[in-house]
Amino acid sequence: MSDLTTVMHRPDSLDNKIIKELGSPRFFQWNVRESYASIAKRLGIDEETVRKRIKRAVKTGSIQGWRVVIHPHLIGHEDVEVDLEVNDAERKPEIVSQIKLIEGVIWILNFEGTGLFVLFYSESGQALTRKVQLIRTICGAEKLTMWSNSLPPCNIKISRTDWRIIWAIRDDPRKSLSEIAKEAGVTTRTVNRRLTLLTESRAFFLVGLANFRQAAGVSCNMLIFCPHENSKYSAAERIVSRFENIVFGGSTSSNYLFYNMVFDNLYEANEGYEWIKGLKGVGAVRMGIMRDLIFVRDWLDEEMKKGMSKNP
């Protein structure tokens, strides 16, 4: 009975807040080793509650772990996000497989129906233009929404030792300092000093590997277009005050807002969609029901290996 109760647990607003603090797609946690005590203090709860909620999310399978992702500026790239619809939903598995092979793709959010969201890294200029066009061609998309450089700048120059430390924590950021030091071939003092500097410089961020098929409720993404800058901020204030189920969200450099929310059911999700669509100043809303988060690790791993092999 206890196992069944755990599986059927429905995330509440506190679950959402904790997951948000740990890092989720489109909400970046820059301190990849932040303590549960620090998170608990910020949320006004006790550390054990945080620990238990995270343990439950992992046990039910709604979170399958975390991954450390390097800042694109470390490798001379910029972050780019595209939101689009494929021309044939039945071809989606093939389309996703092809997008995963594009150099620089970090993750793909697969929505129910025809929607896709792709985060990738790219050099600017023609390289970026070619990648966007390639994604558009693969998807057969008539149009797409794109924005870039949504991350704060990172100007630190990192060494081969730094790359070894990042490699050691890429799949387990809470690994002990002694374990990291052993893998990186340096002292624990060096690890502690370099991790502090890398964290302060925002050299990497933490992403929660969500499994939406195992999560209770309906996970939705709302992409909201506001024609005027002032109306965007007004709409954002009303949305944040109206919904307690926001896991993460924010705004782009253009006139878009995005929010990921967890509703009890599809009826409530549609109610939320209609309410947002009716807000003054909102021009259009696209609601996507999240089906899969596909994290693409091969290209990132290769970039880290290049860093580890470069001259000191």
| pLDDT, tens digit, 9 for 90 and up, residues 237-295 | 999 999 988 877 778 767 899 898 889 899 999 999 999 999 999 999 999 999 999 99
Predicted local distance difference test score (pLDDT) of residue 20: 66
Predicted local distance difference test score (pLDDT) of residue 19: 67
Residues 6+ apart with CB under 8 A from 122: 77, 78, 80, 104, 128, 131
| Distance of alpha carbon 161 from the chain centroid | 26
- Domains of the chain, each with CATH number or no CATH: 72-152+294-300 (3.30.70.920), 218-290 (3.30.70.920)
| Distance of alpha carbon 107 from the chain centroid | 8
Percent pLDDT > 70 in the chain is 91
Instruction: Give pLDDT tens digits for 7-20.
Output: 334 455 677 677 66
Predicted local distance difference test score (pLDDT) of residue 107: 94
- CA-to-CA distance for 238 and 251, rounded, in angstroms? 14
- CA-to-CA distance for 80 and 150, rounded, in angstroms? 8
Reported in sequence order, the residue ranges of the chain that DSSP labels E, i.e. its strands, are 63-70, 78-85, 105-111, 115-122, 144-148, 204-210, 218-225, 246-251, 256-263, 284-295
Query: How much is the pTM?
Result: 0.84
201-216 mean pLDDT: 85
Residue 162's pLDDT band (cuts 50, 70, 90): very high
Q: What is the mean pLDDT of the chain?
A: 87
Distances (CA, A) of 231 to 114, 193, 219, 251: 29, 44, 26, 12
How is residue 276 written in tokens? 């947002």
Predicted local distance difference test score (pLDDT) of residue 22: 66
Instruction: Give pLDDT tens digits for 20-52.
Output: 666 544 456 788 887 788 888 888 888 898 888
Strands 204-210, 115-122: pairing is unpaired
CA proximity to 164, closest of 189, 191, 188:
191
Instruction: Give pLDDT tens digits for 79-91.
Output: 999 999 999 999 9
| Helix boundaries (H) for 44-176 | 47-60, 92-100, 126-139, 160-169
Q: How many residues does the chain have?
A: 312
- CA-to-CA distance for 7 and 12, rounded, in angstroms? 14
Which is more confidently placed, 72 or 26?
A: 72
CA proximity to 195, closest of 167, 166, 174:
166
Longest dimension (CA), the chain: 58
Judge whether residue 3 has pLDDT over 50. no
* DSSP structure class, residue 216: S
Strands 115-122, 105-111: pairing is antiparallel
